[in-house]
Amino acid sequence: MLIQMKKASDVLSSEITRKSFYMNRRKFIQAAGAVSGAALFPSIAPPAFAASAKLENVQKSQWGGSLQPTSLESIMSHNNFYEFGTGKSDPKENAHTLKPKPWTVEIAGHAKNTGRFNFEDLVKPHQLEERIYRMRCVEAWSMVIPWVGIPLASLIKKAEPTGNAKYVAFETLVDPKQMPGQRGRSLKWPYVEGLRMDEAMNPLTIMAVGIYGEELPNQNGAPLRLVVPWKYGFKGIKSIVKITFTEKEPPSTWNKQAPQEYGFYSNVNPDVNHRRWSQARERPITGEGGLAALFAKKIDTLKFNGYAEEVAHLYQGMDLKKFF
Ligand code: MTE
């Protein structure tokens, strides 16, 4: 994020494809594989684009039905996931080495039900809902993503945190064999993030396990990642293996890396510029295709990314220039 920053306008037009095109291409690949053996098509089916599993019975939700989602191909091709490299296309190229199944998550700290849990015990299929959220990156580009997930609040309730739990801390897997970027020192590992308990319990906050009705692609943080739509994208920690209830504010990776540039709260705020660039506007990556995406007009960034009604009350009385 700090290094090798590409502008949204650097996204190749060939990357911007509608989902229908992507799905048809995948059907073609599957059909071809069934007839002649998938090994015949290695070059058109890179591992990160391998067919993922459809999530059944996903409930629609009240969030985002009217928003036009970004194309799946853009969502899967323009990523930040330093465990697989610092370039935007590195995660797509390299994330096939991640093994999201089987997966366990440790729950620790101030809660009654701590321990190590299988993914399947934490995320039940009947709970899954679609949430189409605007997502705003601190690098001043944005996407609309049709996530599938569960409210983080439901998972927290099962853990039964005690009165001492004021914050929730999250950690990503550390395994340099699966995550080649961890062999270098682009960041301190594990990637960590945190939320205040009331932010974590807010109905907008979800643990995402899918996109466009299918399991999360590895490069987007399989098998489960945090999504907090009123905060900059870097709060959305990926491939989580540990959740800890803490009394004190937990560390967050970008805040540790550059405290003058990234605060703990990281709420989308057009009035508080990043040290080195403005946050007043953003370039939407819409997935409208080709030139439309390349030359997408910048739009004004909204306070709390447009979710002020749902979350502004969480910060009443706080000076958001100080707690940025
Ligand atoms: N989580 C981990 N573990 N490692 C990362 O490098 N990058 C963050 C966040 N979560 C990151 C991470 C940043 S900077 C952003 S903008 C979002 O993931 C990007 O999510 P996306 O690639 O699914 O759009």
Cα 112 to ligand 1 centroid, rounded to whole Å: 30
DSSP string, 166-185: -EEEEEE---TTT-GGGGS-
Sign of CA dihedral 69, 97, 91, 273: positive
If one counts every other C-beta atom within 10 angstroms of the C-beta of residue 226, the result is 24
Task: Calculate Rg over the CA atoms of the chain.
Answer: 19
Query: In what helix (H) or strand (E) does residue 58 lie, and over which residues does it extend?
Result: none
Q: What are phi and psi of 211, to 5 degrees?
A: -140, 140
DSSP string, 79-145: ---GGG-SSTTHHHHHGGG---SS-EEEEEESBSS-EEEEHHHHS-GGG-EEEEEEEE-TTSEEEEE
Residue-level pLDDT at 11: 29
**Could you say which of 3.90.1150.10, 3.90.420.10, 3.30.420.130, 3.30.450.40 is the CATH number of the domain covering 8-315?**
3.90.420.10
Instruction: Give the three-class secondary structure for 286.
Output: coil
Q: Which residues on neighbouring strands pair with residue 208, listed in sequence order?
A: 149, 225
Q: Which residue puts its alpha carbon closest to atom 3 of ligand 1?
A: 238
Domain parsing of the chain, residue ranges: 8-315
Instruction: Give the three-class secondary structure for 197.
Output: helix
Residue-level pLDDT at 296: 78
User: Which of the 8 DSSP states describes residue 215?
Assistant: E
- Strand extents, DSSP E, the chain: 104-109, 115-118, 129-136, 141-151, 167-172, 192-196, 206-211, 214-215, 225-227, 240-246, 281-284, 299-300
Cα 232 to ligand 1 centroid, rounded to whole Å: 10
Residue-level pLDDT at 267: 98
- Rounded to the nearest integer, the mean pLDDT of the chain is 86
Residues of the chain with pLDDT under 50: 3-50
Residue-level pLDDT at 286: 79
Residue-level pLDDT at 20: 38
Q: Which of 15, 74, 80 to mutate to test the pocket of ligand 1 (most atoms within 8 A of CB)?
A: 80
Sign of CA dihedral 65, 71, 73, 77: negative
Residue-level pLDDT at 1: 66
- 181 touches 90 (CB < 8 A): yes
Q: State the Cα angle at 163 between 160 and 168, rounded to 5°.
A: 65
Report the candidate in 9, 2, 14, 18 with the shortest Cα–Cα distance to residue 287. Answer: 18
User: Which residues form ligand 1's pocket by a CB distance below 6 Å?
Assistant: 1, 79-83, 137, 172, 191, 220-221, 233-234, 236-239
Q: What is the pLDDT of residues 212-241, one digit of tens each?
A: 999 999 999 999 999 999 999 999 999 999
